[in-house]
Amino acid sequence: MPHNDDVPLPRFPETLPRPSADYVHLSSGGTSVLVDISGTPTIVHWGAALEDDADLLRSICVTSRPQRVSGGLDVTPRLGLLATGAEGWLGTPLLEGHRGAGGSSLVLRLVRIRREGSSASFELHDDERAVTATVELAVSDSGLVRQRATLRNDGDAPFELTSLLLGLPTPWDASELLDTTGHHLRERHPQRRDFTIGTHLRESRRGRPGADASVLLAAGRPGFGFETGLVHGIHVAWSGNHRVLAERTNGGESFLAGGELLLPGEVILSPGAAYESPWILGSWGDGLTELSARFHDEWRARPQHPTRPRPVTLNTWEAVYFDHSLDKLTALADIAAEVGVERFVLDDGWFMHRRDDTAGLGDWEVDPSVWPNGLHPLVNHVTALGMEFGLWVEPEMINPDSDLAREHPDWILRGRDTLPPVARQQQVLDLANPDAYRHIASRLHALLDEYPIAYLKWDHNRDLVDAGSGSGGAARVREQTLAVYRLLDELKRDHPGLEIENCASGGSRVDLGILDRTDRVWTSDSLDPLERLPNQRYTGLVVPPEMMGMHLTTPTVHSSRRTVTLELSAAVALFGHFGIEWDLTTTDAATRERIAAWIRLIKRIRPLIATGHPVHTDLADPALDARGIVADDASAALFVITQITSSAAYPPARVRLPGLSPDTRYRLRLLPAPGDSGQSELEWAQADIVLTGTALATVGVRPPTLVPQQAAVIEAIRV
């Protein structure tokens, strides 16, 4: 046997033709998207940045092209930018529609590309069907990919669009899927499955994403976690019905796609009219931490992003529910100010006929039977204490038992003569009706003009079921969603500085469409810290921490009846927009001092939370949770370790604290629970300990021995 080095290498003939390829390469923030435009424009790569070398990029296009196989079409189909059945694509079509009774065949050919920096728009046209589509594709500085499309009817008869999705390819060996699901009080919990041939489809038909929505659909290498494992994911930035899917074909294509879910007859384009899809956002990373950091960077770079320190908030809902009394609320405000609260929010129950949840939605005037002098006495009291005032509203809803419904029964969304099934005794107001819209907008403007309201807690407590309008009951979810966006934009424009919280039975409307025009989201009505751990972790896949409302609970959680310590509740609420949901008038002085101490800590660390990146340790121990926020420049980090139940190990084994700069040294400090002077027996907690980022991430530290439902806070500061 000759030595390996001696084996003659086969020689390639010099005369082979060099195949050609035209391409568009968009690259920014460490991400590349490569589109082969030689035929039907097709994304051949989405992920790590590619070298911007024409020969290499052409070669990638060419080597990505499939071969013809037996039993198939002569040109093996690939997922084009707007793949349709008529062009030979046999997976889920990205574009579907028809003109009149027939004419559903669509074949769009590329007619023009406009390129600017790392963005491009592809104009595609179908002559025979007389439609023009424009697909916008951009890679932003954060490395996030944005994709959206417009479809215009160039014909002289109506064209019904039935589906428009946008897709991004995933590596074939990304064979594990992650998405989220849940229900009220348990939103955005993860579920995983094998990404086998076929389609994994998640739809929302609720007129809002819903508690069960997948905030991110991700495909990654088997076992990918937060810290490692190549993973790609998409999010549909839309607050109405949506569809998101992962598909793997027997032809070697695997991709993620998403878009708006269109109801029958919802988008019928008259001649010259156009439909614009929501943005589909795609991110990738070596682990979910890197993937989500791109979303956070992107969101934080927007000019409207809330950047002033997030005011510590007290929300009155669980403190008083509908039992509004000026004396009680002013007493609550006094204690709130004493412990350091900066924003006092009056929840549901202040307006006409709203003595419980059966009536009044739509009657947006202060109820004089409860508030004889309007809200002024409370608002004046709150602002005199140096706090901002916030007010709860639910503008998209109407109770049949309201003056508004009695005066304008035709303003209720319904697909037929009878009303849709009730939910919380309420129906949905038809905001696409210009009269209804103006009425609600003027009521909100009037409130914002009369009172110094810094913040609206904007609720939305029912799914849009059979949401139609007009005499034929035409489906109205899309129009309703656009009207809500218009209303939010109008209020923001006319009341500069106004902040709006996006709440929907807790976290039933968590999407970056609404979070582009609001300042935070109430991630769940569950204030149970243990339930909140997964909820906050997975909401944080796309939502930056400072946009997630996290509140201290009443010691016995109202929704779960679990009794928890103040320390657990506060530690779990640390990495977000901090608040309180608790009747503080029932607390003693010592408890208030402990709350105040946590609030002092919050105020110290909130710049870190507003600019840093969340990290999560992939732990083998299901009884523990370890997460942190690492400063953008890796100069510091804060970690919270939560003992959920008892661990197999006692004392617990070392926990790795990832995300810091590898060779940098950090001084480690176990923070005593604010308000508690007790010292841990843990040896390193008594010493001056310095570790490198590498040691923290790979070796880890012994956490303090915690009892179940106890948390510890560790600070790492660069030395």
**Least spacing, CB of residue 348 vs ligand DGJ, in Å:** 4
* Residue among 462 and 613 whose Cβ is closer to ligand DGJ: 462
* Residue among 360 and 652 whose Cβ is closer to ligand DGJ: 360
Size of interface with ligand DGJ, in residues (CB under 6 A) = 11
Query: How far is 547 from 456, CA to CA, in rounded Å?
Result: 14
The catalytic position among 347, 459, 519, 528 is: 459
* 94 Cβ neighbours under 8 A, 6+ residues apart: 79, 80, 81, 82, 83, 84, 163, 164, 165, 166, 167, 257, 259
Q: Is 209 in the site for ligand DGJ (CB under 6 A)?
A: no
State the virtual CA torsion across 297, 300, 303, 307 in degrees, nearest 10.
Answer: -150
Q: Which of 213, 387, 503, 660 binds ligand DGJ (CB under 6 A)?
A: 503
Name the packing angle between helices 434-450 and 477-494 (round to 10°). 30
**Least spacing, CB of residue 522 vs ligand DGJ, in Å:** 6
Beta-strand relationship, 499-502 and 520-522: parallel
State the virtual CA torsion across 562, 563, 564, 566 in degrees, nearest 10.
Answer: 130
Residues 303-332 that bind ligand DGJ (CB under 6 A): 317
Query: How far is 356 from 348, CA to CA, in rounded Å?
Result: 9
Q: Which of 392, 411, 575, 639 binds ligand DGJ (CB under 6 A)?
A: 392
Query: How far is 456 from 392, CA to CA, in rounded Å?
Result: 6
Name the packing angle between helices 589-611 and 326-339 (round to 10°). 60
Q: Which of 40, 170, 505, 535 binds ligand DGJ (CB under 6 A)?
A: 505
Question: Is 459 a known active-site residue?
Answer: yes
Residues 457-476 that bind ligand DGJ (CB under 6 A): 459, 461
Query: How far is 221 from 197, CA to CA, in rounded Å?
Result: 16
**Least spacing, CB of residue 310 vs ligand DGJ, in Å:** 18
Question: Is 323 a known active-site residue?
Answer: no
* Residue among 210 and 220 whose Cβ is closer to ligand DGJ: 210
- Asked whether 401 and 347 are in contact (CB, 8 A), the reply is no
* Residue among 347 and 463 whose Cβ is closer to ligand DGJ: 347
Which is nearest to 535 in space by CA: 254, 281, 182?
182
* Residue among 188 and 243 whose Cβ is closer to ligand DGJ: 188
The catalytic position among 363, 463, 525, 625 is: 525
- Asked whether 362 and 317 are in contact (CB, 8 A), the reply is no
Q: Which of 290, 347, 367, 546 binds ligand DGJ (CB under 6 A)?
A: 347
**Least spacing, CB of residue 461 vs ligand DGJ, in Å:** 6
Segment lying near ligand DGJ (by CB under 6 A), choices 42-50, 110-118, 373-381, 501-509: 501-509
* Residue among 440 and 615 whose Cβ is closer to ligand DGJ: 440
Half-sphere exposure of 273 (CA within 13 A, CB side): 11
- At 489, the amino acid letter reads D
**Least spacing, CB of residue 392 vs ligand DGJ, in Å:** 6
What are the tokens at 650?
Answer: 């006692």
- Helix and strand tally (H, E) in the chain? 12, 37
* Residue among 134 and 399 whose Cβ is closer to ligand DGJ: 399
**Least spacing, CB of residue 312 vs ligand DGJ, in Å:** 17
CA-angle at 328, arms to 325 and 329, nearest 5°: 80
Please report, as ranges, the residues that interact with ligand DGJ according to CB under 6 A. 317, 347-348, 392, 459, 461, 503, 505-506, 522, 525
The residues assigned a catalytic role are 459, 525
